[in-house]
Amino acid sequence: MKIVSSGKDVFALSFHKRIFVSAYFAVFLFLFCSFTPGFASEWWEKPPELQHSMLSGETGDPAYLDMHPNEDLKFPVIKVFPAQDCSLEMKFLRDDEKIFDKKKVVEEASSEIEFDVNPRQIPFTKGDYCIELKLYSNEEKKSTDTLFFSVIDSRKLDKNVSKAVHTCKEGSLSYISDYRGNRIPDFATVGYKKGKAPLPQVEPAVVLKPEEGDDTERIQEAIDEVSSMPVNDNGFRGAVLLKEGVYEIEGQVSIQKDGVVIQGEGRGDAGQFWLDPSREYSVEELTEKLSEKEATVLLATGKDRRTLISVEGSGEVNIQSDTQSEIIDRYVPVGSHSFHVEDAESFEAGDRIIIERTGNEEWISEIGMDDIPPRPDGGTIRQWEPFDLQFENKITRVGDNKITVLHPVVNAIESQWGGGRIYTYDDEKRISNIGIEKLRAISYWKPNEDGVDDTRHADQFLNLDNVRDAWVRNVTKEHFYSTLGAVEIDSGARSVTVYNCSTLIADRSFYEGPGYDETGRTFHETDVYVGRYGYRIEGTLNLVMECYALNNRHAYAYGARVPGPNAVVHCQAEQSLTWSEPHHRWSVG
* Beta pairing class for 113-116 and 86-94: unpaired
Report phi then psi at 97, rounded to 5.
Answer: -105, 130
Q: Which of 309, 279, 296, 304 is nearest to 439 (CA)?
A: 296
User: Above 80 in pLDDT, residue 42?
Assistant: no
Across the range 282-287, mean pLDDT stands at 96
Contact 543, 569 (CB under 8 A): yes
Gap between the Cα atoms of 115 and 118, Å rounded: 9
Enter the pTM of the model: 0.90
Length of the chain: 589
Nearest to 531 by CA among 561, 495, 486: 486
Mean pLDDT (whole number) for 103-116: 83
Q: What is the 3-state secondary structure (H, E, C) of 12-40?
A: ECCEECCEECCHHHHHHHHHHHCCCCCCC
Q: Indicate the pLDDT class of residue 67, thresholds 50, 70 and 90.
A: confident
Radius of gyration of the chain (CA): 27
Phi, psi of 119 (to 5 degrees): -60, -20
CB 50 within 8 Å of CB 76: yes
Q: In this predicted model, which residue has the larger pLDDT, 158 or 549?
A: 549
Q: Convert the pLDDT of each residue in 219-231 to its tens digit.
A: 999 999 999 999 9
Q: What is the mean pLDDT of residues 332-339?
A: 96
What is the pLDDT, as a whole number, of residue 526?
52
Mean pLDDT of the region 267-285: 96
Could you give the CA distance from residue 370 to residue 220 in angstroms, rounded to a whole number?
A: 48
Which pLDDT value is given to residue 32? 44
| Pair 96, 396: CB distance under 8 Å | no
Q: What is the pLDDT of residues 247-264, one digit of tens each?
A: 999 999 999 999 999 999
How is the beta sheet containing 338-340 ordered, strand by strand?
318-326, 420-426, 352-359, 387-399, 402-405, 338-340
Query: Within a 10 A sphere around the Cβ of 116, how many other Cβ atoms?
Result: 12
**In whole angstroms, what is the distance from residue 327 CA to residue 145 CA?**
11
| Alpha carbons within 13 A on the beta-carbon side of 471 | 24
Q: Judging by DSSP bridges, how do beta strands 338-340 and 402-405 pair with one another?
A: antiparallel
User: What's residue 57's pLDDT?
Assistant: 86
* pLDDT band at 28; cut points 50, 70, 90: very low
- CA nearest neighbour of 444 among 281, 272, 291: 281
Q: Is residue 17 scored above 50 in pLDDT?
A: no
- Decide: residue 114, CB within 10 A, 0-12 exposed, 13-18 middle, 19+ buried: exposed
Residue 218 and residue 269 in contact, taking contact as beta carbons nearer than 8 Å: no
Q: Which of 112, 128, 104 is nearest to 78 (CA)?
A: 112
Q: What is the pLDDT of residue 71?
A: 67
Q: What number is the average pLDDT over the span 146-175? A: 86
Most confident segment among 52-56, 110-114, 521-525: 52-56
Which of the residue ranges 178-192, 290-304, 442-456 would you say has the lowest mean pLDDT?
442-456
Lowest mean pLDDT among 204-218, 344-358, 519-533, 570-584: 519-533
Q: What is the mean pLDDT of residues 95-116?
A: 85
C-beta of residue 446 within 8 angstroms of C-beta of residue 292: no
User: Which contiguous run of DSSP H or E holds residue 217?
Assistant: helix 216-227
DSSP state letter for 91: E
At residue 29, does pLDDT exceed 50? no
Contact 506, 480 (CB under 8 A): no
Q: What is the pLDDT of residue 518?
A: 53
DSSP string, 124-192: --SEEEEEEEEEE-TT--EEEEEEEEEEE-GGGSPTT--SSEEE-TTS-EEE---TT---PPP-TT-SG
pLDDT band of 22, cuts 50, 70, 90 = very low
How confident is residue 529, by pLDDT bands cut at 50, 70 and 90? low
Q: Is 586 helix (H, G, I), strand (E, B) or coil?
A: coil
- Please tell me whether residue 200 adopts helix, strand or coil conformation: coil
Residue 3 has pLDDT above 70, yes or no: no
Of 481 and 23, more confident: 481
Question: What's the pLDDT band for 86 if we cut at 50, 70, 90?
Answer: confident
- Least confident segment among 282-286, 366-370, 449-453, 559-563: 449-453
Q: How confident is the model at residue 356 (pLDDT cuts 50, 70, 90)?
A: very high
Task: Confirm if 26 and 334 have CB atoms less than 8 A apart.
Answer: yes
Where residue 7 falls among pLDDT bands split at 50, 70, 90? very low
User: What is the per-residue DSSP string for 347-359?
Assistant: --TT-EEEEEEEE
Query: Rounded to 5 degrees, what angle do the CA atoms 225, 231, 237 make?
Result: 45
Name 103's Cβ contacts closer than 8 Å, sequence gap at least 6: 87, 88, 89, 90
Percent of the chain at pLDDT exceeding 70: 89
Contact present, 327 and 340 (Cβ < 8 Å): yes
β-bridge mates for residue 238, sequence order: 260
